Amino acid sequence: MEFISNNDTKGAVDSNKTEAKSPLLQFEKQIFTDMQEKDGLLIMAKGINYNRILDNIIWVYKDPGNLVLVLNSSDEEEKYFMTKFNLSSLANNGAERARTYLEGGVFFVSTRILVVDLLKNRVPVTHITGIIVLRAHTVLESCQEAFVLRLYRQKNKTGFIKAFSNSPISFTFGYHQVEKVMRALFVTELYLWPRFHGVIIKSLKSRQAEVVELQIPLTTKAIHIQMCLLDIMNYTVKQLKSINRTLDMQEITTENCITKKFHKILQSQLDCVWHQLSNRTKEYIQDLKVLRSMIVNLIHDDPVSFYALVSKHRTPEYAKINSGWILLDSAEQLFGLTRGRVYNSKNEFDPEFCPKWKYLSELLLEEIPQEVKKKGNGALHSTKVLILCQDNKTCSQLNNYLIMGANKYLLYTAFRRDLTINAVSSKYKTLKKSMPVKTEKDKGVQSNNTLELTGNDVKNEIEDEDFNAEESSKSNYILTLSQLPVEIEKSSSNESIFEPLSQLDELNITQIETEKPLICIQTFKQNGNNFSLELTLESLRPEYIILYHSDMSAVRQIELFESRKKVEEPRSKVYFLIHDKTVEEQAYLTSLKREKQAFELLIETKSVMVVPSYQDGKTDEYFNRNVEEEDNTIDTRKAGGQSINKEKPLVIVDMREFRSDLPALLHKKGINIEPVTITIGDYILTPDICVERKSISDLIGSLNSGRLYTQCTQMCRNYSRPILLIEFDQNKPFNLQGNLVVSTDLSSADIRQKLQLLTIHFPRLKLVWSPSPYATAELFYELKQGRKNPNVDEAMALSGENTADDMGYERYNILVHDFVQKLPGVTSKNISRIMNRGQSLDHLISLTKEQLTDILENRGEAEILHTILHVKPKPDTSKEDKPFGKKKFTGKLFKSIK
């Protein structure tokens, strides 16, 4: 396989620019042209996905004459593009991957695999046409993607780098974040495409869906509950700020507490000082998370589920661990109002309905059928309706509400939530023949007393376990009508006219054929897949879309779907259900505001930013420095009047360590990396120095399992300078205490005690504490100064059973050596003299103090050893029948006989 030159590639691309694999809107054409002409970082607004642009870029370079690598893709993105373009996947075997790279084409590759392949020269770097980086907001200088791009740019100055991101807010965290990311990506251009961009507005205005916004008021009790929760949140935020005046808590506000990004805001501001916060502060922070979940569930949940959630926090156990908000007057009102939504004044089960349920039913049974009749050319049996929700839980709620009816669904929910029901209101009298009675004997067993309906009995009764599993895992449902619309008025108000579509499990959406209208209920993102909504819109092509919850990204995807429709296709009608003057509306407006502010900050940054060129050999200062260090493999220095040649520093790294940032940082320091599979240690710095790296979580797990003892034993037997490196996360406190880093069943004192035992057992083992991977890289660089490079073959040859030549352990019995080493008076300095000049344990015991002094060359240590060897043990009558010890060393020679 011969690659065409990069110049020929650019020419080939230019000739294909006018053609497009996927049809593009006007703004997408401009983005595609910009990204083809220059390397750059593209940041687009949420919902305005870059997949169409990426489609065309992949199509342009999908040729054996090119080699294009796509990094940092999610599983859904990789599956989507590989299926669409029939791309081949890379093999697990390194030699097979090397052959695949030579065949050319576009490959989605794991960053960790590509790093190893680049270091082992399996990839023809000089012939790489370019690299595409997805989700660029996750790339930092220390990450693996930056490592790959550095290796790529050192040998290939002409290939392209194109980076894509759909998260503008991520670039606002940290100091000069966008400049850091661009420097790590080696790109020169920043392309910003917010929703308020003039070209996007013009493109989307060419064809717009008909939007009907339904502002639904909450019930009186729900409004008061929301006010109580906001009062409690305001109180908690004020208390939190009053006892932490020195901390920057500008972003911790009641407004931000109700947004989805609240946890990220907390993490970014408080993680680094978490161990310095008081217990009171941590309680306030935990309570804010609890209150946020309550206020969100007030909008999303039915009254029965919400009452069950709130009741969990009115217990003596929770009162002991919370900051005291449950003692406030607002909390007392909250508990009373929540119960009032489920039970009436007579203490009968009489829950109120979700306000959106009524509007949803009216849309499906009245509004949409009437709209279809008005159009004339439409037919109700072929109508498709798409209902979009926030999460799987709400999808399940709507599915069961439409199938079972409101009253039966709420009663089922009450039994699932184990609510106490002594009596029910009159409207439930017609629903039941027998109430299910739960006894201790019936727990875990299905009761014979089931809820039955009069009239047309709905057969889709759902068992507890199935219901819960379905609620948490299933993200889409398809329903249809069980009756004709003209018969709706004749039906009982307690009966539902919807039924699940049985074909769903066997068939695809595009293959479903029915003579009745389709109602599809789906989440905005199915299992976190950003492409799921777009794929559903393209395959289902619904005439009516109901946004049961508000979502900025979903609104924009619907706008794009409508703009791409053919002229002859009818316009979609979108119903936007939103609770007016509630936290739901505020959260939606806040998300729009935060994204707008993020883009304004990026636009301002771009106007003053000076990014050096990476093309044609022009690089920034640190890149130049690294390249110079790598090119100068011989360093001539004067030592004692003589010139010595110094090799390029080399570190052997275990393959599993490429999950961490440290190998990338070592390479950036100018140290060569040799990735191999080694059984002893993680990093081999010199022939004598072996390092086992542990994060805090790894350290705790290894101490508990005893694995660390085995690892230290192997290191001490094979290397003269074993090191246990304990590395902290750079975003977490450099402190071994608190619940942040220590599990509940192991305190920091336990860790310290076990580490002390480790140092007693292994006197030569050095413990090194590092606050971050950056500090570790600096330490390794200093340890490498003036020392020899390790031998790769020797490091790979060592295993847990083998020993190294330089230690000379093969001359001794390992069991005897370890036993003698633990005797009082024996140190790491005199152990070798005892093992060399002694013969056996019997011989050692027979020596006098003077003879031991001659061997140890230290009178004090000789007296201690002689005393311990001649102490007479006191008889233990309780264990006379039991042998004392399992193994006897008596008579064994110190030196192995070969």
Could you give the CA distance from residue 60 to residue 377 in angstroms, rounded to a whole number? 42
Cβ partners under 8 Å of residue 378, min gap 6: 372, 543, 570
- The amino acid present at 275, given as its one-letter code, is H
User: With contact defined as beta carbons under 8 Å apart, do 200 and 44 qualify?
Assistant: no
Q: What is the pLDDT of residue 483?
A: 52
Could you give the CA distance from residue 105 to residue 119 in angstroms, rounded to a whole number? 21
Q: Which one is predicted more confidently, 596 or 889?
A: 596
Closest of 121, 123, 119, 147 to residue 652, by C-alpha: 119
Could you give the CA distance from residue 294 to residue 292 in angstroms, rounded to a whole number? 5
897, two tokens: 């006989």
Q: What is the pLDDT of residue 830?
A: 80
Over range 199-225, report the average pLDDT: 91
Query: How sure is the predictor about 619, in pLDDT bands with cuts at 50, 70 and 90?
Result: very low
Cβ partners under 8 Å of residue 347, min gap 6: 422, 423
Could you give the CA distance from residue 856 to residue 829 in angstroms, rounded to a whole number? 9
Cβ partners under 8 Å of residue 14, min gap 6: none
pTM, full prediction: 0.75
| Pairing relationship of beta strands 160-165 and 642-646 according to DSSP bridges | unpaired
Q: How confident is the prediction for the chain on average, in pLDDT?
A: 78
Around Cβ 884, how many Cβ atoms within 10 Å?
A: 9
Closest of 301, 296, 387 to residue 588, by C-alpha: 296
User: With contact defined as beta carbons under 8 Å apart, do 787 and 686 qualify?
Assistant: yes
Could you give the CA distance from residue 274 to residue 244 in angstroms, rounded to a whole number? 12
pLDDT of 806 above 50: no
Burial 83-118 (b: 16+ CB within 10 A, else e): eeeebeebeeeeeebbebbbebbbbbbebbebbbbb
579, two tokens: 């609770």
Q: Which one is predicted more confidently, 723 or 795?
A: 723
Could you give the CA distance from residue 591 to residue 256 in angstroms, rounded to a whole number? 9
Q: Partners of 691 in the beta sheet?
A: 683, 723
Q: What is the pLDDT of residue 650?
A: 92
Closest of 812, 836, 724, 738 to residue 272, by C-alpha: 738
**Burial of 758 by CB count in 10 Å (0-12 exposed, 13-18 middle, 19+ buried)?**
middle
286, two tokens: 């935990």
Query: How sure is the predictor about 802, in pLDDT bands with cuts at 50, 70 and 90?
Result: very low
Over range 208-217, report the average pLDDT: 90
Cα–Cα distances in Å, from 653 out to 274, 496, 701? 33, 64, 22
Could you give the CA distance from residue 464 to residue 412 in angstroms, rounded to a whole number? 9
Q: Name the 3-class secondary structure at 339.
A: helix
Q: Which one is predicted more confidently, 23 or 472?
A: 23
CA 780 vs. chain centroid, Å, equals: 29
What is the crossing angle of helices 406-416 and 303-311, to 10°? 20
Q: Name the 3-class secondary structure at 358.
A: helix
Around Cβ 327, how many Cβ atoms within 10 Å?
A: 10
Q: Give the CA angle between residues 803, 809, 810 to the nearest 5°.
A: 75
570, two tokens: 């009818």
Query: How sure is the predictor about 644, in pLDDT bands with cuts at 50, 70 and 90?
Result: very low
Cα–Cα distances in Å, from 306 out to 311, 417, 438? 9, 10, 22
- DSSP 8-state assignment for residue 509: G
What is the crossing angle of helices 279-300 and 220-242, to 10°? 160
Could you give the CA distance from residue 744 to residue 168 in angstroms, rounded to a whole number? 37
Could you give the CA distance from residue 529 to residue 534 in angstroms, rounded to a whole number? 10
Q: What is the pLDDT of residue 453?
A: 31
**For the CA atoms of the chain, what is the radius of gyration?**
35
Q: What is the pLDDT of residue 452?
A: 33
User: With contact defined as beta carbons under 8 Å apart, do 758 and 764 qualify?
Assistant: no
- DSSP 8-state assignment for residue 597: H
Q: Which one is predicted more confidently, 358 or 619?
A: 358
User: With contact defined as beta carbons under 8 Å apart, do 570 and 543 qualify?
Assistant: yes
Percent of the chain with pLDDT over 70: 76
Closest of 726, 391, 350, 344 to residue 525, by C-alpha: 391
Longest dimension (CA), the chain: 116
Q: What is the pLDDT of residue 645?
A: 47
Could you give the CA distance from residue 690 to residue 699 in angstroms, rounded to a whole number? 17
Cα–Cα distances in Å, from 446 out to 437, 442, 460, 464, 465? 11, 7, 16, 9, 10
Which long-range contacts (C-beta less than 8 Å, at least 24 apart) are formed by 304-311? 304/342, 304/351, 304/410, 304/413, 304/414, 304/417, 304/419, 305/413, 305/417, 306/338, 306/341, 307/338, 307/339, 307/341, 307/342, 307/417, 307/419, 308/417, 308/418, 308/419, 310/334, 310/335, 310/338, 311/338
What stretch of H or E contains 126?
A: none
Could you give the CA distance from residue 816 to residue 551 in angstroms, rounded to a whole number? 70
Range scoring the smallest mean pLDDT among 59-68, 532-541, 580-589, 808-817: 808-817
User: With contact defined as beta carbons under 8 Å apart, do 494 and 452 qualify?
Assistant: no
User: With contact defined as beta carbons under 8 Å apart, do 354 and 400 qualify?
Assistant: no
Could you give the CA distance from residue 719 to residue 712 in angstroms, rounded to a whole number? 10
Query: How sure is the predictor about 377, in pLDDT bands with cuts at 50, 70 and 90?
Result: low
Q: Give the CA angle between residues 882, 888, 893 to the nearest 5°.
A: 170
10, two tokens: 């650019």
Range scoring the smallest mean pLDDT among 59-68, 204-213, 427-436, 480-489: 480-489
Query: How sure is the predictor about 574, in pLDDT bands with cuts at 50, 70 and 90?
Result: very high
Cα–Cα distances in Å, from 340 out to 231, 321, 348, 352, 370? 20, 27, 10, 9, 37
Q: Which one is predicted more confidently, 822 or 44?
A: 44
Over range 487-502, report the average pLDDT: 53
Residue carrying structure tokens 């194109």: 162
Q: What is the pLDDT of residue 723?
A: 94
| Pairing relationship of beta strands 40-44 and 160-165 according to DSSP bridges | parallel
**Burial of 530 by CB count in 10 Å (0-12 exposed, 13-18 middle, 19+ buried)?**
buried
**Burial of 546 by CB count in 10 Å (0-12 exposed, 13-18 middle, 19+ buried)?**
buried
The dihedrals phi and psi of 804, each to the nearest 5 degrees, come to -85, 155
Encode 527-545 in three state secondary structure: CCECCHHHHHHHHHCCCEE
Over range 393-410, report the average pLDDT: 88
Instruction: Pinpoint the alpha helices (H) of 762-803.
Output: 773-784, 792-797
Range scoring the smallest mean pLDDT among 131-145, 384-398, 779-793, 820-834: 820-834
- DSSP 8-state assignment for residue 489: T
Could you give the CA distance from residue 233 to residue 287 in angstroms, rounded to a whole number? 9
Cβ partners under 8 Å of residue 93, min gap 6: none
Q: Which one is predicted more confidently, 16 or 404?
A: 404
pLDDT of 737 above 60: no
Cα–Cα distances in Å, from 896 out to 718, 797, 812, 813, 822? 17, 22, 5, 6, 20
Q: Partners of 654 in the beta sheet?
A: 676
Q: Which one is predicted more confidently, 479 or 226?
A: 226
Residue carrying structure tokens 């901390």: 247
Q: pLDDT tens digits for 221-263?
A: 999 999 999 999 888 888 888 887 777 666 677 776 776 667 6
Q: pLDDT tens digits for 98-114?
A: 999 999 999 999 998 99
Length, in residues, of the chain: 898
- DSSP 8-state assignment for residue 363: I
Query: How sure is the predictor about 175, in pLDDT bands with cuts at 50, 70 and 90?
Result: confident
Q: What is the pLDDT of residue 612?
A: 55
Cα–Cα distances in Å, from 570 out to 376, 377, 394, 544, 573? 12, 11, 29, 11, 9
Q: What is the pLDDT of residue 624?
A: 47
User: With contact defined as beta carbons under 8 Å apart, do 804 and 718 qualify?
Assistant: yes
Over range 267-286, report the average pLDDT: 77
The dihedrals phi and psi of 107, each to the nearest 5 degrees, come to -130, 130
